[in-house]
Amino acid sequence: MQTAAYGVYKQGQILLNEAPSVFDNSPVIVVFLEQKPAEKPKLRDFFTLCGAWEDTRNADAIIADIRGSRTARDDVRL
């Protein structure tokens, strides 16, 4: 029987998140998944991925530019 249990290494001890359902003196393999805790993404980092731009053209000119920059391909397979 193989069972996986998650936990953390803290102050020289491995602390499991929950008790595994195994027998006493069961052999184990310990694998450390990360060198350091992952940083939680910050909301301001998310906002750098999207946003508005300034353009003096009207909507019709922008749409015409987008449509004019499209390319057609004959080798598309579905």
Return the pLDDT at 1: 60
Give the per-residue pLDDT at 58. Answer: 92
Among 17, 19, 22, CA closest to 2: 22
DSSP-assigned beta bridge partners for residue 10:
13
First to last CA, the chain: 45
Q: Is the full-model pTM beyond 0.85?
A: no
Q: How does pLDDT run across 13-52, given as a tens digit for each residue?
A: 999 988 888 888 888 888 888 777 667 777 777 777 777 7
Query: How far is it, in rounded angstroms, from Cα 23 to Cα 67?
Result: 67
How far apart are the C-alpha atoms of 78 and 61, rounded to whole Å?
A: 33
53 token code pair: 């731009």
